[in-house]
Structure 1
Amino acid sequence: MAQNYGCSINSPAEDQESEENSPLLQKQAEQLLVPPKCCSVRCNLAIMMFFGFAVVYGLRVNLSVAMVAMVNGTSTQPDSNDSKAKECPVSSDTLNSSSQILDQPDGVPRYPWDSEMQGMLLGAFFFGYLFTQVPGGYLSGRFGGSIFLGGGVLCTAVLTLLTPLAAQLGARWLFALRALEGFGEGVTFPAMMAMWACWAPPFERARLMTLSGAGGNFGAFVAFPLTGFICHSLGWPAVFYCCGGAGCLWAVLWFILVSDEPRTHPRISDQEKEYIINSIGSEGGSHGWSVPLLPMLFSVPLWTIIITQMCSNWSYYTLLTSLPTYMDTVLHFDLRQNSFLSALPYLGGWLSSVLSGVIADSLLERKLLGVTAVRKIFTVIGMLLPAGLLVAVGFSGCSGILAVTFLTLSTTIGGASSAGVFMNQIDIAPRYAGILLGITNTFGTIPGVLAPIAVGYLAKDHSLLGWRKVFCVSAGVSALGAFLYTLFGTGKIQRWAVSDDRTETGTEREH
């Protein structure tokens, strides 16, 4: 296997020429008979993944909204004599509505967790999530991703059903349970990437992968208001029973309907099977037991993806875990308003991520831009502009309308990065896409651990200044990631990712 322990940096023109001469793209340029996309097996797989990741994010964020109802408000509110607690006025309607909503049904427990403890509990999921990314990606690339994606969701769903019991036993038990949920869910995204390495033709990668990954934003959009409604109607324990049950149901359907690759799918047409296999070529499929770990370690493009995703995820996880707290303690929305407005930004993110995938594939298919240019454009748009809008949120003061508008615009535009850095692993090493996503997601999950803790520290007094610091830090980190990716990002297949048969013919020199 060809190995490259360094990394040469070519000019943009050389990058584009290299990408256009890539055998993967040449396969698509040939006169392959392209079967209809509508109702195809690959499109159905993307839809199944879409709903799977909607469930995944529902299981992940349910605690963010339920926490408002789980916690005894008298123990977490700032001192009434503190002027910072009165920065944003609370209307009498909101007070009455909030008191009615937060009064849970008889027998539903409430807990005296302060803001630091809440931050630890919200970040606990990501402690476990860190540890299964790389093993999940490696094993998915070796044995196929369907069992790991379905199994990860199923395990997380079953554990979610035990959340009320763990909370009753104490904060330490809940922390451990959430960490175990993260441990089970950590294999899902690497497994998705490993499956698309076998299923996604090069000119359809962006639209298929952004459609499936957009389920995350859709899940957050649905989970936030649905969680608020269930908390109000049935009490917060019902949130975890409903989310866990939905995850179990989806897992059953997944195992019945999905196969690891086109060759083993019982209901795929011969035309579609031949199209997918021929267009992907030798770079898809299983990577075997060995992987080029040392070349990966010294790969500048891979480290660029890692750092950029860490920077992007800081702001994403900050909003995902802490936005309901901001809506509650600063803007003083009641729980039903809180859950709906917390969900609104993810509606825009869902729509823009799907649209960006279609546009990115169109640019490549028409040869208007090379892979590197497309990935950089969508990454910069999806990180730099949202960073500026986050700063605007920090200076929006007590205006709920301005804050929600800026947050919605920020997350909507941020969806564009789905067609950029977040699918770059399959560009630079299709064969190892699963394990690369495991590696990048492992590092990318670190902000999920640190961001809620940082929010708990920076905004512990629930002041406008504290939350301004939260939003400005998130914006600065995102801008740094966009700058680094502009300098060092690439869409070229790396030498260490080239298969043995192509190495023997010397085609690796094109990369």
Structure 2
Amino acid sequence: MAFDKADKLTSDFEQPSKPNGFGARHVQAVLLFFGMVFGYFLRVNISAAIVPMTNPVSDAPYYDWDTDKKSLILSSFFWGYVAIQVPAGLLAKRYGAKIVLGAATAGGGVLAFFHPLAAATNDGWIAICVLRVLTGISQGTVYPCVHTLLAKWVPSTERSFLSTTIYSGAQLGTAIILATSGVIFDSSMGWPGLYYISGGLSVAWAIIFLWLGANAPGDVVSMNKVEREYIAALTGSEGSGQPMAVPWKSIFTSPPFYGLLAAHCGFTWGFYTLLTEMPTYMSTVLQLNVKSNAMLSALPYFAMWILCLVVSPISDLLINRGTLTVTTARKLFNSIGQWIPMVCLIALGYMTSEERNLAITLLTIAVGVNAGCSCGYLVNHMDLSPNFAGPMMGITNGLAGVMSILAPLIVGAIVTVEENPSQWRIVFWITAAIYLVCNLVFVLFGKATVQTWNDPSNMPSTSTMTLRDHSELISKTTAPTERKENRF
């Protein structure tokens, strides 16, 4: 493989020694992993509980809420979620992601305790919507805060694996809450127990995280010096230690940013359409009972969690060996994560209750293969700008969150008769089309190289920056295995 001058300068960058064994960065990764698990308990509990809350399937109380009310309940979480995204990224950068994330998760856990009481009030669905908006605000801090922490803690040579491992907690949390919901519904607690358990675990995690978590390696006094130097050299987010103004204009005029935004929106539409509507689809179209529905609804997310842990080391290996550039790897795995599910959803639209086994297989593939996106757009914020990964995640997750609001509402408008497979077919075709277009934009415009605006205070103007200037900037903030960008 031929190298140009920029490749030569980058490859000459001396890689620091990698520390052996389990280090401080791994402790933080474990904490954040469980934070994702319990955070998704808070956001997914309503998707699992909405079926027994609105059907007389146990001794627990139920409520006569029609499809429109249920769609509003399922989407209301994202009203607060979207609104807090950018402020959360800025708060994390200014005051520290640890305190913002810990306090918000504790608050979300407390809110979960009040869901059963709210549902029992007059116009209980409105009270539930209010609680879901507030829960959305608490959970809207998660991705901007975690991205801010990852940019400080995760070396670029381990970015796919550690970041994906942490974020795979979302899939495991979703799978656990869906898989255990049937057992909880059949217990003496009934569906209210789902809220009590998810709330209690979230509060417990927040207390532990506020005790053991850290905003940056510099906050851990007992940290190994070799590991500290290794992280500092390969994160690219240390800078001068002084707060830097977010370069909003540069971000919003950056084509790679819009490629990233498109990929994030596509993933969010597909993921949350299936997450919020799958239990209803399985119950009405595939005619599965609540208990088996709970287990089968969880299966795709178990598959996604496992695949996240499989594809992320493969991605890092291909990048670190120089087989693929970072940019090519991001586009390849993101395409796998969105275009294979696209095909599965089109086929799923033609399944009936007699073909439920094939339908479940397609659903499992469609959700499970989404794991590829964890090595695609999800870590691309840190590729483009380690210093502003948190605020950037706030922007893209906020705008993508609009998809989370629209998806249940559009499903509610299209699926007026929940037992009608042809109406669900329209939903699956729309989702497939969004996957196609959004990932295509990422393939055309996406990049995975540090952008010049990552450190605007130290950057020469683009009109006077030489190739060597740019190469030396990249060598300071990326892994030494980065090769010159190929076309994907």
* TM-score between the two structures when normalised by the length of structure 2: 0.90
Equivalent residue number for residue 469 of structure 1:
426
Deviation at 1:354, TM superposition (A): 2.1
Match of 2:351 among 387, 396, 399: 396
Equivalent residue number for residue 255 of structure 1:
210
Q: Report the residue type matching 1:244 in the other structure.
A: G
Deviations 1:312-341 (A, max 9, x none): 211100111110011111111111101110
Match of 1:488 among 437, 440, 445: 445
Q: What residue ranges of structure 2 are gaps of 5+ in the alignment?
A: 475-488
Structure 2 vs 1, CA of residues 371 and 71 (structure 1 numbering), >3 Å: closer, same or farther? Answer: same
Is the CA contact 1:286–1:431 (under 8 Å) kept in the aligned structure 2? no
Equivalent residue number for residue 97 of structure 1:
none
Deviation at 1:284, TM superposition (A): 5.8
Structure 2 vs 1, CA of residues 495 and 502 (structure 1 numbering), >3 Å: closer, same or farther? Answer: closer
Q: What is the CA–CA distance in structure 1 between the aligned matches of 2:242 and 2:271, rounded to whole Å?
A: 32
- Root-mean-square deviation (Å): 2.1
Deviation at 1:508, TM superposition (A): 4.8
Equivalent residue number for residue 53 of structure 1:
36
Q: Report the residue type matching 1:489 in the other structure.
A: G
Q: Report the residue type matching 1:464 in the other structure.
A: P
Is the CA contact 2:47–2:279 (under 8 Å) kept in the aligned structure 1? yes
Structure 2 vs 1, CA of residues 458 and 503 (structure 1 numbering), >3 Å: closer, same or farther? Answer: same
Deviation at 1:450, TM superposition (A): 0.8
Deviations 1:132-171 (A, max 9, x none): 1111112212332111222221111111111111112211
Structure 2 vs 1, CA of residues 22 and 453 (structure 1 numbering), >3 Å: closer, same or farther? Answer: farther
1:425-436 matches, cutoff 5 A: 425-436=381-392
Is the CA contact 1:42–1:200 (under 8 Å) kept in the aligned structure 2? yes
Q: What is the CA–CA distance in structure 2 between the aligned matches of 1:361 and 1:188, rounded to whole Å?
A: 24
Equivalent residue number for residue 294 of structure 1:
249
Q: What is the CA–CA distance in structure 1 between the aligned matches of 2:7 and 2:307, rounded to whole Å?
A: 27
Q: What is the CA–CA distance in structure 2 between the aligned matches of 1:201 and 1:22, rounded to whole Å?
A: 20
Match of 1:452 among 397, 403, 408: 408
1:54-453 matches, cutoff 5 A: 54-72=37-55, 102-104=57-59, 108-169=60-121, 170-233=124-187, 234-281=189-236, 288-398=243-353, 399-453=355-409
Q: What is the CA–CA distance in structure 2 between the aligned matches of 1:120 and 1:103, rounded to whole Å?
A: 24
Structure 2 vs 1, CA of residues 287 and 375 (structure 1 numbering), >3 Å: closer, same or farther? Answer: farther
Greater alpha carbon shift after TM alignment, 429-438 vs 494-503: 494-503
Q: What is the CA–CA distance in structure 1 between the aligned matches of 2:4 and 2:242, rounded to whole Å?
A: 27
Q: Report the residue type matching 1:361 in the other structure.
A: D
Aligned residue for 2:106, secondary structure, equals helix
Q: What is the CA–CA distance in structure 1 between the aligned matches of 2:241 and 2:105, rounded to whole Å?
A: 22
Q: What is the CA–CA distance in structure 1 between the aligned matches of 2:129 and 2:218, rounded to whole Å?
A: 42
Is the CA contact 2:151–2:237 (under 8 Å) kept in the aligned structure 1? no
Deviation at 1:172, TM superposition (A): 1.1
Q: What residue ranges of structure 1 are gaps of 5+ in the alignment?
A: 1-12, 74-101
Q: What is the CA–CA distance in structure 2 between the aligned matches of 1:333 and 1:339, rounded to whole Å?
A: 9
Deviations 1:176-206 (A, max 9, x none): 1100000111011111111111111111111
Is the CA contact 1:18–1:492 (under 8 Å) kept in the aligned structure 2? no
Deviation at 1:41, TM superposition (A): 1.4
Deviation at 1:494, TM superposition (A): 1.4
Aligned residue for 2:83, secondary structure, equals coil
Equivalent residue number for residue 91 of structure 1:
none
Match of 1:33 among 17, 21, 25: 17
Q: What is the CA–CA distance in structure 1 between the aligned matches of 2:65 and 2:469, rounded to whole Å?
A: 57
Is the CA contact 2:16–2:229 (under 8 Å) kept in the aligned structure 1? no
**Identity %, equivalent residues:** 33
Q: What is the CA–CA distance in structure 1 between the aligned matches of 2:454 and 2:425, rounded to whole Å?
A: 44
Deviation at 1:280, TM superposition (A): 2.6
